[in-house]
Chains A and B, each alone.
Chain A
């Protein structure tokens, strides 16, 4: 009897374990099913290279280029802000901060990850957006620039926590070697610790990028949602994620527009797959040391 129970339970355990694989395949399958139907109807080259996204025009235009430009602009902007600040914060927390305040600083950084993205978006809307409009004297504060700032802070917990782990796992004797040669603590941090922790830091940055590309609600509330190719970072843009979230409600289930949004989902899925795969490679590298 015991044996039978054991076998049944172990089968259930095995099934639960392979469910993750099944879900990834299912997600890809469902996105691909609708996305492929869209490519067949509309044409994949017209989709990838089309400069206009206008589902309500006649004929409807589904060019993803402005959305890709929007996502890229916001992501690059966020990285430019978040990467230096995040890595410096990680260095400060792990190497310099006094022991007593280390955990407090770390918890405060991580607290950001606990705040729901609609709340962050809302606060951004009422504080950051008017500030950007007045400070740069532009017609609207709902711009790619505002989105970049907001997303930079949303990526911060990811970048700081994972970089900090990497910095902390640098073997102590690396530092001892540098100290023995007469290097100051800062020289050791900059030339030895930072280099040794680099694979982990790159993984942290990649995961941060993954988070930024996939972020939806805050971006939709702050970037102004204009699906056109902007001339500068101080213009409204629309990201791929925001397009899906904003337009799905307007579609008729199964029509071309509906399928087009799945095609965007497919593009997003592939991009985040690659980004996370690279992050995982670097994470493996940093652990194998």
Chain B
């Protein structure tokens, strides 16, 4: 075997690592580019605000957009308070004992459960056992449990970044522990929690598997009007139009994909902007 000089082997290795990095990035660019290029022409005001017609082959995606919106809103309003409270417990109240370790292990596990298994669980407990049926609320509850570990982890990070001296100052004035958290720690951790929440919203907007059996259906002829309604959702609609319906006009598929992509990326982008803004205006 030829022995390369250390200098040359460094140069060679750096080039290989650079190529690997390019390879890791290219697919993202290809995916976004393909969707935008082919989908841009499909997006009209009419596409966004009308019902699907003619077996989805013409018309718009309004019910799917509203369905996703209602499920995500419900899910986040369930998971946010629970997640923040759990994070407060882990960060402010407890020391490293057996119970905390079990809670942390449970969180790690919840984070690892496949999304389709959450779907099964939601079907078993919410749709069947609690008899909520296939509905917005059943889907939202399923998604909220799935997102719980993410919210807890980010909220904990935000609470943890509040300097300890803030708490000491408050406690030394005789303020109780909860009052300190409520008036000193939480307001200062809020930006971090908010950023994490926005990212969670983006993530659950694109989830399909957990709502497959719990909330989403093929077609609903009217717009959702209660949380006990079955709904159409954007990601499931994309799955249907791209795989289940023969002779589907490509334009509608790409248009649906683009709307979903724009929605998710805009929300993520908002989170990034919020993070930069809050970092600049931090009090410590």
Contact = CB atoms under 8 A, between A and B. Distances in A.
Interface of A: 2-3, 5-6, 9-10, 12-14, 16-21, 23-24, 26-27, 30-31, 33-34, 84-86, 88-89, 91-93, 96-97, 105, 107-109, 111-112, 114-123, 125-127, 153, 156, 160, 184-187, 190, 207, 210, 213-217, 221, 241, 244-245, 248-249, 253, 261-262, 265, 268-269, 272-273, 275-277, 279-280
Contact of B238 (A18, A122, A207, A210): A122
A123 to B, nearest CB: 5
A221 B90 CA distance: 40
B110 A20 contact: yes
A119 B35 contact: yes
12 contacts: A9-B178, A16-B86, A92-B14, A114-B206, A116-B235, A118-B208, A119-B238, A122-B238, A207-B112, A214-B112, A245-B119, A268-B116
Given A96-B17, A116-B208, A244-B120, 7 more contacts: A17-B94, A18-B99, A19-B148, A21-B103, A114-B202, A122-B257, A261-B120
Contacts of B260: 116, 118-119
Interface string B172-200: 00001111000000000000000000000
A214 B115 CA distance: 7
B208 A217 contact: yes
B166 interface: no
B209 interface: yes
Contacts of A107: 272
Given A18-B103, A118-B238, A119-B206, A30 B125 contact: yes
Contacts of B265: 111, 114-115
Contacts of B273: none
B3 to A, nearest CB: 13
Interface in B124-179: 124-125, 128-129, 145, 148-149, 152, 176-179
A12 B85 contact: yes
Contact of B148 (A20, A84, A245, A276): A20
B216 to A, nearest CB: 11
Given A123-B30, A241-B114, A276 B109 contact: yes
A245 B6 contact: no
A264 to B, nearest CB: 9
Contacts of B41: none
Nearest to A101: B21
Given A89-B20, A265-B120, A24 B115 contact: no
A275 B257 contact: no
Nearest to A8: B178
Contacts of A24: 106, 109-110
B247 interface: no
Contact of A92 (B21, B99, B103, B253): B21
B111 interface: yes
A153 B32 CA distance: 14
Nearest to B240: A118
Contacts of A280: 105, 108
A184 B7 contact: yes
Contact of A17 (B85, B123, B257): B85
